[in-house]
Structure 1
Amino acid sequence: MSNVFEEYFGIHNKPHYLNQQLTYDILQSCNFEFQKNILEKLQSLLYLSLDLCFTEKSIKENFNENFTEELIIGNLSNIESEAVFLKPVSSNPPYPVVVVLHDHGGFYYWGKERIFMDDTTQPFLREYREKFYSSKRWALDLLEKGVAVFCPDAFYFGKRRLPQELIKTFVDNGTFKELIGFTDGSDEFIRLFNRISSELEGIIFKNINLYGTNWPSILINEDIAWLNYLLAREDVDKSRIGCMGFSLGGFRTLFLSALKREIKVSIIIAFMSEFSKMLGQTARHTFMVHIPGFTRFLDLPDIAALIVPRKLFVMQCNEDSLFPFDAMKSAVDKIEEYYKEAGCRDNFLYKFYPNPHQFNSYMQEDAINYIFSNIQK
């Protein structure tokens, strides 16, 4: 069984495969002492390599009226994952690109598809967008601005979702037979698959830790590897790279933007708080954001300090049930102080919206305008 887990987690996540000098290159480019102190603490908490890169196995193109869709299958130490690259027909390469990191939402069967795929035949996807996105395929709005969109599947979602071989190991025989009795991709299959994946998060979390790493490290390593793939493409303008994500995607955006300076502008949506002020409430969150020992040394606003002096917009939801308001407010106050200390306060923006945990049409409009205004030449 250990080999099955290794095949799923990826051998690049074994400690002796990782770059032990993670922070060296970043430290050399740090402009501020507080960034160096944060990086030194972070190195002991995450197991990362900034050199990982997906290699392209195949590309399938689909042509739409306003954009070209490239479905990319990539390989990383014998694991396969997928990303989509949406290229607007209204502009020519090299394209400015926004890396969109998808959210969690209990929707494990698909990852990248939630931001762009037509939902006319998919009831669950339609319900999902209605709840979180004001029923919009909002990535298409970026394309209308002439900006390309790159969205990879995260570990445990989409192409990287839990394989049936592991599901069979952990669920009872009746549940497994029920799952495989449905047509893969049908609404019934997706709903049951999502429920099973949610119930197994705790077990997978334990096995990841026993493997010698933690869940955020696996997420971030694959995001790094996909970004490095993107940066190697000739049709990408490396000077105009943005990154944004909602919820879990905001968590991923925070860490990827902190570690990869090629990202010029970032938007963290509905995932900024001080974990240290959430005692008794963090159990509401997915296991995917838990870094053992994190709040002994750092907190989320400290990671945002690594983005300084680049452009950052933090979007918060007043009625977010996942975060106490005072913890959200103190987090952005702390980030603001970092930007002030660096003499670039104007490069940081935050805003609170009068709604629950979602990325609705009003927030989408603000986010897209911010990205577009800061990614132009």
Structure 2
Amino acid sequence: MSVTSAKVLSLSLAFIISCTAAFAQQVKSDVANFYSLLNGYSSKSNASLSYLSKEPKNTEKWRKSARAKLHELLAFDPEPAPLNTKVLSTTKRDGYTQHLVRYNVNNLQKTEAFLLVPDNITKPAPAVIALHDHGGFYFYGKEKHTFTDNQPLILKEYIQNLYEGRHYADELARRGFVVLCPDAIYFGSQKIDPAQLVNTKGYFDKVEDADESERIKLFNKQVAGPNEVAMNKTILTSGTTWLGIIAQNDRVAVDFLLSRPEVDPERIGCIGLSLGGLRSTYLFGLDPRIKTGVVAAFSTTYQHMLQQHAHHTWMMYVPRQYEFLDLPDVASLNAPRPLMVMNCKQDKLFNLAGMQAAEQKLSTIYTKMKAPEKFSTKYYDEPHSMTIPMQEDAISWLEKWLK
């Protein structure tokens, strides 16, 4: 081989090796080669209103300013309406009474909720708003963590899978909490109506001869799930956000509890799993009437979601929020009020690094506010769920700070 050929071969091998090394160093992402563009843009200026960005001397002024910006970004400010509460049914259960109620959440929407009132209340009691999950199960909302009679098999299996078969809202009621379990928009009493869809793709033919569980499954998989995309596009076109609607509805749940003589207005908390954890994050952060919160299986940072796992329900995304507030920053808006975050190590919706980054941010904020004991993060070697041990830890936390 000539000297020239040897040099050419050497240069070629060096080029191949360098390209291979560069390829190996590339970050794998849900958006492939576009990750560098989007991550670079977001890194330019993010979470500018975080408590950690400037460490404001006037905490209340910071809190007011950050909440106002978040309210602006959520972009849902409908005309209010009187609650006009109607009790649709009342059922005596073991240790409590279950009321099915309907009330206005604004002048355009109503929702239904279960109100659970413990037996033998002699004075205003602590209350908890229990916020249901998503799970791709739209046919029901509040029923996923509240006991109901004659449950179809598909619902029983769902509750067994996510909650180890226990209805944690009822457990809270048996332990002395007044509990409100409202339906979010797109679930349960607020679910989408197939009869008003432009194209149902043969849905009605399929459900005609199906049993109850199969009909529910078809509704979830063929109607509600696929139409999340059109729903979110239409919500954005209308000038609002899906999470804005949810958050406004959930804040009216506080109004509802305050209308009840059984409730102590100074002892109201919130709890939720998955989408319920996201709802709990926003309700806790936005509403100072909430005195303590529990977030289960919905904790991460937007930085980690940018690379991977930005594939959740359309309900969680708020345009431009990361510019001002990271996800854990939302919860920090009510700090140093007590907050517990429960993470599942086997959770496929979030990576462990994201959970730990969110924990670090919140832990630092609570420490700087001189209240580290009011923030707790726990990790469980479980998939995405709220197991009975998790429920027990959450109930203990709510009892500690509300009783």
| TM-score bracket relative to the smaller structure | 0.7 to 0.9
Aligned to 1:263: 290
In structure 1, distance between residues paired with 2:71 and 2:249: 17
Q: CA deviation at 1:231?
A: 1.2
- Show CA shifts across 1:170-224 (max 9, x none): 332x224324x258x9212111111121111111110111111011001111111
Contact 1:32 1:342 in 2 (8 A): no
* 1:337 matched residue in structure 2: 364
Is the counterpart of residue 139 in structure 1 residue 165 in structure 2?
no
Q: Which runs of 5+ in 2 are unaligned?
A: 1-57
- Identity level (%): 34
Task: Pick closer, same or farther for the CA change 1:215–1:140 going to 2, 3 Å.
Answer: same
Question: How do 1:1-377 and structure 2 match up within 5 A?
Answer: 31-32=59-60, 34-36=62-64, 38-49=66-77, 52=80, 55-59=83-87, 60-75=89-104, 76-118=106-148, 121-166=151-196, 168-172=197-201, 174-179=202-207, 181=208, 186-195=212-221, 196-376=223-403
Change (3 A) 1:242 1:43: closer
The amino acid of 1:237's aligned partner reads D
CA distance in 2, matches of 1:45, 1:121: 39
C-alpha separation in 1, matches of 2:331 and 2:79: 21
Contact 1:205–1:287 (8 Å) recurs in 2: yes
- Tell whether the 8 Å contact from 1:83 to 1:112 is kept in structure 2 after alignment: yes
TM-score by length of structure 1 reads 0.85
Q: Distance in 2 between matches of 1:307 and 1:39?
A: 10
TM-score (ref. length: structure 2): 0.80
Cα RMSD of the aligned pairs, angstroms, is 2.0
Moved more, 74-83 or 320-329: 74-83
* Aligned residue type for 1:80: K
Deviation at 1:120, TM superposition (A): 5.2
Q: Report the Cα distance in structure 2 between the residues aligned to 1:119 and 1:354, rounded to whole angstroms.
A: 32
Shift of the alpha carbon at 1:293? Answer: 2.0
Corresponding residue SS for 1:56:
coil
* Distance in 1 of aligned mates of 2:148 and 2:256: 26
Kindly state the Cα deviation for residue 38 of structure 1 after the two structures are TM-superposed: 2.9
- How far the C-alpha of 1:373 sits from its partner, in A, is 1.6
Larger Rg: 2
Distance 2:209 2:129 in 1: 34
TM-fit CA distance, 1:62: 1.4
Where structure 1 has 5 or more consecutive residues not aligned to the other structure, the ranges are 1-29
- 1:54–1:324: structure 2 CA closer, same or farther, 3 Å change rule? farther
Q: More deviation in 341-350 or 72-81? A: 72-81
AA matched with 2:187 = F
